[in-house]
A and B are shown apart, each in its own frame.
Chain A
Amino acid sequence: QKEVEQDPGPLSVPEGAIVSLNCTYSNSAFQYFMWYRQYSRKGPELLMYTYSSGNKEDGRFTAQVDKSSKYISLFIRDSQPSDSATYLCAMSWSSNTGKLIFGQGTTLQVKP
């Protein structure tokens, strides 16, 4: 079983749609959960960071972590064409490491 699994998509939605992106993981030791956005030919950029279970909201973005199901989600409300990018989930198990375990990334296209 892969450590972090993420549907690569591509996912295509109309502007204004609610987007749901998900990752599952197998390692119950993961405590820190992140979502990165990666535009074409750019490095990953941190969008959301969550410690342990729960929800976190930042503007149009909401991150959810369900540790009991080993499942994390990123919701994007009122999606915009500028949200078109690859979204990577990432996780780590310790506060003493910069080693992140990434998912495959989901490519999102928001059509005007």
Chain B
Amino acid sequence: EPEVTQTPSHQVTQMGQEVILRCVPISNHLYFYWYRQILGQKVEFLVSFYNNEISEKSEIFDDQFSVERPDGSNFTLKIRSTKLEDSAMYFCASSVQQRGTGGSGELFFGEGSRLTVL
């Protein structure tokens, strides 16, 4: 069964360092997302990406964050200068199409990358 894969599964970094989280979405999917979940809190939307550009972002997704699809298979989230409060589980997700557009807009989530900022 096709799945979204994420690497690394766990990354520990020092505050102020740059981090890149990588995702391989399901191959025929067109929409890509990053969500995060701080320990004990809700899963929160960060950004959606379609046709090589950001289609929507939340207020959390500030200038410290960026996303990129550097090739036909990878989708990355970069945090330029990590803060303690960036410690969280980051989930990548992908979908064939947007929700509710006549077909299945189901988001398929990866297993997550746990980021610990010290």
Contacts and interface: CB of A to CB of B under 8 A. Distances in A.
B109 interface: yes
Q: Is the interface of A mostly helix, strand, loop or mixed?
A: loop
A99 B55 CA distance: 10
B76 interface: no
B43 A88 contact: yes
Interface residues of A, number: 26
B11 to A, nearest CB: 15
Given A98-B48, A99-B58, A46 B107 contact: yes
Nearest to A104: B42
A98 B100 contact: no
Nearest to B49: A98
Interface of B: 4, 31, 33, 35, 41-45, 48, 55-56, 58, 91, 93, 95, 98-101, 105-112
17 contacts: A32-B99, A41-B112, A43-B4, A49-B106, A51-B100, A92-B99, A94-B100, A95-B99, A95-B100, A96-B98, A98-B33, A98-B107, A99-B48, A100-B107, A101-B45, A102-B42, A104-B41
